[in-house]
Structure 1
């Protein structure tokens, strides 16, 4: 399987409010930037949408090195929370409804298709790929102001 490196980020002006997401996919010397946004959304929905859209862009099953500054995304996948929410009918351990079940369901399916290795990176720090994803996400969110 091919190994693809993906960086993603989401942004929202107000929460909820206008939002955007950005992603960078790298395979060897090839690099592709993706971005999009919505007029009324949340930061977590944009974080999830960035990851989902990047994984959906892969034409075949891949090994993915996924970098995100979203603890919401990384922890829910790495610690198995999202799978548990789904198994309980999108209910969290504290009996409250899990948010964004539509997006989590899509993401879990993509994680079954691809071999995803998760990496948390500090946001707004010294990672040029994370910073570029943030620029893309913020630019998209501004289109809806």
Structure 2
């Protein structure tokens, strides 16, 4: 994978409480192009937002077969893919696993491209990772936050708010 023809995606997720209000932040970079994405939810978890940040970054890509390098400080996301756990979970229908709705959304996006993950230490001064953290935290503090329907359905909280 040549770095010059690679889309680089930085991601982060946050929640205030676990569960609690939260959001994700994503920064996409390709050559001189840069795009930021973020969104907040009224009730979610940190792991859901970490995974959703990756999904939203991959969804933003136009075309197929792109070289993609994703930087994430989430061991949950990086290890699930890099260590192959995700494929075992998929074979077992995600039985007993958290966030099956998001993983099922992630898999076809992942398969559309040539994706590599790079784990980075959070809050270590990596500029774009720090920016993703800011986006994630701020989006979770917004007003009129959206419902994370996958979380609320899975946990029986739909209709409480």
Query: TM-score, structure 2 length as denominator?
Result: 0.84
Q: Could you tell me which residue of structure 1 aligns to residue 74 of structure 2?
A: 70
2:109, 2:87 → 1: CA distance? 13
In the alignment, is residue 112 of structure 1 matched against residue 116 of structure 2? no
**After TM superposition, where is structure 1 displaced by more than 3 Å over at least 4 residues in a row?**
none
The one of 3, 27, 32 aligned to 1:29 = 32
CA distance in 2, matches of 1:100, 1:143: 23
Task: Determine the C-alpha separation between the residues in 1 that align with 2:102 and 2:73.
Answer: 18
Q: What's the offset of the Cα at 1:17?
A: 0.3
| Residue 122 in structure 1 maps to residue 121 in structure 2 | yes
Match of 1:4 among 2, 7, 10: 7
* Max Rg structure: 2
Please name the residue that 2:140 is paired with.
Answer: 141
Give, in whole Å, the separation in 1 of the partners of 2:142 and 2:53. 17
The residue aligned with 1:82 is 86
Unaligned segments of structure 2, at least 5 residues = 146-161
Task: State the Cα RMSD in Å.
Answer: 1.3
Unaligned runs of 5+ in 1: 92-96
How many correspondences in the alignment? 140
Q: Secondary structure at the match of 1:75?
A: helix
Cα displacement (A) at 1:6: 0.3
Q: Distance in 2 between matches of 1:7 and 1:87?
A: 28
Q: What's the secondary structure of 2:18's corresponding residue? A: coil
CA distance, structure 2, for counterparts of residue 72 and residue 117 of structure 1: 15
Q: Distance in 2 between matches of 1:7 and 1:19?
A: 18
- The answer on 1:98 being equivalent to 2:101 is no
